[in-house]
Structure 1
């Protein structure tokens, strides 16, 4: 009797997540493309624009924990298209407002509804991929943020050139709403997918999967103080939380201050800086793919998780410290080389989400994911402000030292706080 060949429906699900991440980051960053036009059209100064930039981070970080809780109790097929539609509507509305308060409100609304997105992504990967494939899956969908930022920027600029900054927001919002409909049509949990076969279900989670639907139906998550104590009462979890904040610090630098660094502090013209700015994002894209596939390869070869999972993150954060090299050269080529090495390292470390599914108690993956992304999201609020203070005197060197120091702290966090990679048992 021939063994049934497993279907590969999980890769289609991974494509859905990848595109969702691209849409997610399109709606986070289109404000940076429109910033100059908005500032001129609405007569907003740099301080007011700074408030608009940071407004997303306020709500996004604060609502990570409630968002993670929502992921634990609401079916993914319902939750994901709902939040996608909601943040896309907020994006679209930006095209019709004409005041500082309204723009801040829209950015805060986008942060509210994007908050559960990454805990959702992690839950989907946890349910659709076996443990020895998760780092690769996380690497693929995480790469969507870097690919989006590298290649969507010229597209967004082109849309604004044709339709103005208002048209940019309206078109971005429409794209997200259409994608939410597509998501709802095609996504199913593994046990509900109409064309997955038993061989793939067994591949995903073996014999354990047979009882999963019943377990899911019977499981009741109590959103209690005791659960929050679990989320914040373990050294291992604080290790990955702190590491994610430090990892986010490097990313936020590239999302916010990097273009200004090239133009205002390195004297590059806008067009040239736009081209050069894409190079570190491509480096990060390759870094995250190398990390994920290498980590899963090591797991399949029987290498201990402490090496297979932690080595890419630790080595990536060490590479991120290369950013300080830009302080010691005036050659644009070498500036981009150092920054690209640093962002490649950030990409290597970006599979850190795998530790949520490896360490968190099974019944609290969504909550722990929310806490993890909450601490990481705080970097979007704190790091841009700190950099602004450090560069106030006209010298950007202290800011690059600050980014390197964050990378060192993150590396130390994984070495000394996370310790042995094993699931926390709260039974």
Structure 2
């Protein structure tokens, strides 16, 4: 290895991915902030709102496997730029939506453009970080899905009260377009970045980072689709255990991204401005949880524990803790309700290092397809959870909905305990 001190460009790259995830999740969750107003303005029922909340998931989940092929064949610099500008433009158009069908169609379009986002995030981190830093790196960018909502929800609520929900969508979309241009200007692959020295590349490679995951993009783009990769992604028991666990983890997330503000406003009868701040608390807890989950997992590896134990334990503990959401059914005290929600979402954040498993077990030449399949099955929750909750609460009672999401979290924990098995790279 070179005696020259490695540069730290990988951390700047990680910051860029983090910002992209913040924007990504703000554009997923801003509908939940506007939802009560949209329902009132257009006279939409809880069932109709459930379908609108789920619209993003129909395209996002169902296109994950083609998106995985795309990630394996298009360099992140170009792909992320197109994604960011595309979904941000659709977000801007949400500001001029005129009813159920327009809203549903635009949310479908946002889902299409966001399809390759997290497989691309995983590909970037797999290329830029050694294995012993990967848990913290994935936890860092994953935390963006919580920190943006946590800190910016009160801001968006205030913006909505000032310029309306239409203006909020337009401003959010414009922000994403600008960031897309910045991404294209600043992102480079490891071997193309002018500020990276050879020592950092050697450090990443010798630590288990797969430099070729990005370095070989130009060559990979000439390859034909290999459908045996898809067959592999659907046929391995180990992967199915991870997929089921991911569905459970994202189910809790999608409850908070869609129905949580409505739950506080319409079923707990809280003031909307107050809801903006109360909504932030569970997201802050999830942010802390995801950082602690990554740090704890990497600490276990440094202490000599197996990668199987170190990666699975935080996920299992977090999913079990998420079942505490059911406690909100047994109190009318606002403080206790928020406490139960906060504890549950902290657990969800603590379990959110699941991409480390895909990095560790996916075949090297099928990381994108495996990640796409993982994201496809996990994000079926973005379709199922909003719709099921819409039907469960249509009689005015939210308790069955909380029981439902708690039960799904429990199933996810059991999947990691009994199905996943040893964490090791699959031969293919």
Q: Same fold (TM over 0.5)?
A: yes
Distance 2:215 2:178 in 1: 33
Query: Gapped runs of 5+ residues in structure 1?
Result: none
Distance 1:68 1:214 in 2: 17
Deviation at 1:260, TM superposition (A): 2.5
Query: Gapped runs of 5+ residues in structure 2?
Result: none
Q: Which digits, 9 at most, give the CA deviation of each residue in 1:227-274, with x for residues without a partner?
A: 211110100110111111011111111112222222333333323333
> Partner of 1:167 in structure 2?
167
Question: Does residue 21 of structure 1 match 2:13?
Answer: no
Distance 2:389 2:101 in 1: 25
C-alpha contact 1:91 1:170 (8 A) present in aligned 2: yes
Question: Does residue 382 of structure 1 match 2:352?
Answer: no
Deviation at 1:116, TM superposition (A): 0.5
Instruction: Please give the secondary structure, in 1, of the residue aligned with 2:379.
Output: helix
Choose from 338, 354, 360 the match for 1:336.
Answer: 338
Distance 1:326 1:94 in 2: 33
Q: Which digits, 9 at most, give the CA deviation of each residue in 1:300-339, with x for residues without a partner?
A: 2221111111110001011111112222333322222222
Q: What are the equivalent positions in structure 2 for 1:191-202 lying under 5 Å apart?
A: 191-202=191-202
Instruction: Please give the secondary structure, in 2, of the residue aligned with 1:157.
Output: helix
> Partner of 2:403 in structure 1?
401
Deviation at 1:43, TM superposition (A): 4.9
Choose from 229, 232, 240 the match for 1:230.
Answer: 232
Count of equivalent residues: 426
Choose from 346, 355, 361 the match for 2:348.
Answer: 346
Question: Does residue 295 of structure 1 match 2:328?
Answer: no
**Distance change >3 Å, CA 276–CA 231, structure 1 → 2:** same
> Partner of 2:189 in structure 1?
189
117-126 vs 2-11, which moves further: 2-11
**TM, length-normalised to structure 1:** 0.94
Q: Which digits, 9 at most, give the CA deviation of each residue in 1:274-317, with x for residues without a partner?
A: 32221111111100000001111221222111111111000101
> Partner of 1:141 in structure 2?
141
Deviation at 1:70, TM superposition (A): 0.3
Question: Does residue 96 of structure 1 match 2:96?
Answer: yes
> Partner of 1:365 in structure 2?
367
Question: Does residue 272 of structure 1 match 2:279?
Answer: no
**Distance change >3 Å, CA 167–CA 334, structure 1 → 2:** closer
> Partner of 1:418 in structure 2?
420
**Distance change >3 Å, CA 232–CA 209, structure 1 → 2:** closer
Q: Which digits, 9 at most, give the CA deviation of each residue in 1:71-104, with x for residues without a partner?
A: 0011111111011111111112222342432222
Q: What are the equivalent positions in structure 2 for 1:79-158 lying under 5 Å apart?
A: 79-158=79-158
Deviation at 1:208, TM superposition (A): 8.0
**C-alpha root-mean-square deviation of aligned residues, in Å?**
2.2
Distance 1:395 1:39 in 2: 18
**TM, length-normalised to structure 2:** 0.94
**Distance change >3 Å, CA 177–CA 215, structure 1 → 2:** closer
Distance 1:102 1:242 in 2: 32
Q: Which digits, 9 at most, give the CA deviation of each residue in 1:160-203, with x for residues without a partner?
A: 33333322222111111110110011101111111101111111
**Distance change >3 Å, CA 46–CA 392, structure 1 → 2:** closer
**Distance change >3 Å, CA 28–CA 218, structure 1 → 2:** closer
C-alpha contact 1:72 1:221 (8 A) present in aligned 2: no
C-alpha contact 2:62 2:376 (8 A) present in aligned 1: yes
**Distance change >3 Å, CA 390–CA 181, structure 1 → 2:** same
Distance 1:355 1:332 in 2: 37
Q: Which digits, 9 at most, give the CA deviation of each residue in 1:362-416, with x for residues without a partner?
A: 1111111111111111101111222233333333222222112111110111111
Deviation at 1:133, TM superposition (A): 0.8
Distance 1:379 1:208 in 2: 32
Distance 2:357 2:364 in 1: 12
Distance 2:179 2:199 in 1: 30
Question: Does residue 239 of structure 1 match 2:235?
Answer: no
Distance 2:215 2:318 in 1: 40
Distance 2:276 2:171 in 1: 22
Deviation at 1:207, TM superposition (A): 9.1
C-alpha contact 2:32 2:262 (8 A) present in aligned 1: no
C-alpha contact 1:201 1:209 (8 A) present in aligned 2: no
Distance 2:390 2:90 in 1: 28
Instruction: Please give the secondary structure, in 2, of the residue aligned with 1:254.
Output: helix
Distance 1:287 1:407 in 2: 16
Choose from 342, 354, 357 the match for 1:355.
Answer: 357
Instruction: Please give the secondary structure, in 2, of the residue aligned with 1:191.
Output: coil
